[in-house]
Amino acid sequence: MTEHRSHTYGIMAEFESPEQLLAAARKAREIGYKNVDAYTPFPIEGLAHAIGFRWTAVPLITLIGGVGGGLTGFGLQYWCSAISYPINIGGRPLNSWPAFIPVTFELTVLGAALFAVFGMLALNKLPQPYHPVFNVERFGAASTDRFFLLIEARDPKFDLAESARFLQEMSARFVTEVKDEE
């Protein structure tokens, strides 16, 4: 243990294959761990579900962005053409809505895309320059060919020795404590 203020963030296990990780994640949920996260070099089907993460707000946020963008687009054109500066050209309607569709469409897509991307980043709390998992030296392999499971210390069932034993039993190649330095 180092002298300066550092505390345990959690315990991390390294696996060789996605199947092993998936099995360990399922088992961890099964025996009652709640604050579990997994780190993988590519998205693995069913993994988010296995660590108890089911619902994401990204589609809803995207819908809001799209509807907002579309309303802004149409409203902008209507207001400019019919209210702010109406020009009567041969008695043609000021609210010539078919001509407003292309810009309305483009702004719908723009709004939805911006909300989707920035909504996703915000929900993921990115950018985030520091995170305790980066303190683990071997963690760099999470972006190559290793699969990690983390049990966080804030989990009510967390116990350093007990959780480590559990992970070792799940055929982890390597188990380590994750320190959080303040």
Partner 1 sequence: MSVTLPPANGREVQRLEPLLEPGHTYASVTDKIAAVVLTRPLGIGWLFGFSLAFVAVMILFVAVAWLITKGVGIWGINIPIGWGFAIVNFVWWIGIGHAGTLISAILYLLNQQWRTSINRFAEAMTLFAVACAGLFPLIHTGRPWMAYYMFPYPSTMGIWPQFRSPLIWDVFAVSTYGTVSLLFWFVGLVPDLATLRDRAKAPYQQVIYGMLAMGWRNSARHWHRYQSAYLLLAGLATPLVLSVHTVVSFDFAVAIVPGWHTTIFPPYFVAGAIYSGFAMVLTLAIPLRKAYGLEDFITMRHLDNCAKVMLSTGLIVAYGYFVEFFMAFYSGNKFDVFLANQRLHGPYSKFYFALILCNILTPQLLWIRKVRRNVLALFLLSLVINTGMWLERFVIVVISLTRDFMPSAWGRYSATVWDYATLLGTLGLFTMLFYLFVRGLPAIAISEMRELVAHQAHAEEDRT
- Residue 102 binds partner 1 (CB under 8 A): yes
**What is the DSSP track for the chain?**
--SSSEEEEEEEEEESSHHHHHHHHHHHHHTT--SEEEE-SS--TTHHHHTT----SHHHHHHHHHHHHHHHHHHHHHIIIIIIS---STT--S--HHHHHHHHHHHHHHHHHHHHHHHHHHHTT-S-S--GGGGSGGGGGGGTT-EEEEEETTSTT--HHHHHHHHHHTT-SEEEEEEEE-
Candidate residues 6, 8, 29, 41; the one interacting with partner 1 per rule CB under 8 A:
41
- Residue 47 binds partner 1 (CB under 8 A): yes
Candidate residues 95, 140, 169, 173; the one interacting with partner 1 per rule CB under 8 A:
140
- Residue 95 binds partner 1 (CB under 8 A): no
Binding site residues, partner 1, CB under 8 A: 18, 37-44, 47-48, 51, 53, 56, 58-59, 62, 66, 76-77, 80-81, 84-85, 96, 99-100, 102-103, 105-107, 109-110, 112-114, 116-117, 119-121, 123-124, 126-131, 133-134, 139-145
